[in-house]
Structure 1
Amino acid sequence: MYQETGSEELVEQILENYQTTVKKLASKMARDFHLVDDLYQVGMLALLGAIDKFDSEVSHNFDAYAVSTIVGKMKHYLRDKTWSIRVPRTIKEMGYRLQKTIDELTVELQRSPRIDEIADKLEVSEEKVLEIMENKGNIHALSLDTPMKADNQEQDSHTLMDMIPDQDPGFLDVDRKMDLSSLLEDLDEQQRQVIHYVYYEEWSQRQIGEKLGISQMQVSRILRKTLQQMRDAYVKNSE
């Protein structure tokens, strides 16, 4: 209904209905507690994108599509925040010292310490503290085999991989076989712009409409027509 009407009230209802799910995913995937809020924001933005991009002609299971999209975006965020390569021992040691100092000052001051207070305690410059903070979050890569914490226990037998649902075969088939470059050549300029903004810039239909000077409903119709045109061309080329 939202894709057909563009109703702000409907999208707000969808976002509200999925808030708890996004919060649980953020909590379970966060390596450190301070990442939970960031992952929640990433998840909500991913949900917005899923609402706009979901195609009922490919799959009728929006829950699976939304969760898969949210988890994927969270994984990308975590990957951007971590290193998968070996880092110098000195960086790790500075990270441990930094965390210990923050914990000690938090207890001592009964609040979160400021950067200058942390720098004084470590006897380094404020710039060095910021550098250590930046490097500290890039030491450990998050594995899909990482055990998840359940709501009522410290740890359960599930891993992050268990959170990723099986995708509809249609998505995998399109992702694996479709030659996008040749299909895009058959589109007109407006169609290519809509596809670009939706799938490469991840803009909402409302943003695209404002950019192109057309209504959100027109964007939806162009997108639906373009996707069908690309599907037909793909089937024809596969024969």
Structure 2
Amino acid sequence: MYTPAGQPNRDELVQRFTPLVKRVAFHLMGRLPANVLVDDLVQNGMLGLLDALDRFEEGFGAQFETYATQRIRGAMLDGLRANDWLPRTLRREMRRVEDVLNRLEHEHGRVPSEQELADAMAMPLADYQRLLQDARGHQILYYEDFGGDDGEDFFERHLVDRSGDPSALLEDKNLRENLARAIGRLPEREQLMMALYYEQDLNLREIGEVMGVSESRVCQIHSQAVARLRAQLLGDVQSVAKKRNKEKTLG
């Protein structure tokens, strides 16, 4: 993988790690709507791979593969965001789902069923499930998701101390612990689906075979599970922001 001069052979390294780019792309495709093309993901992922090759300085073993995977996936997500792949109306509808989820959980003290959510949104269950199917990929979280329809960023509206890094909110240990607890609160079927997808690396078709449902139904279950998690995590971010504002005021 090195030239006679002792420099990394870029062409050979690209060829070696191209299968990694494709693997990340096909895994990500399982969470994206049908209008997203895998070739576009691969193209953006290759840019991430090249960036990783330029930045990494400690060899090209397992540690590099872990690092490269993050850069590849990040480049793919950046490409999706730049192309505005999820319609704003659909994103708005999923935010409404999350608001209803929060309200029902607080009212009943438990996780609401799909039928309860559909009733609260005044739509037939079949229409609600179709919304979940159309919204596959909404689980990709951007900072823009914290903004309002007026374009004002969530952090600008709720954080008094703007000198800090907003990403610290997402990386906070308590938030990670809250995520683990939120996953534990999911209905058993949704927990199983998440474990098969994120821990066992099964694709949607394989998960459907394990669970005895169609691939489209797995997609709906996944969107529903992530909507529950997003609703809880966004609520946690709001709580953290309010606490910071209060402490800043008192201080």
TM-score (normalizing by structure 2):
0.33
**Bigger Rg, which one:** 1
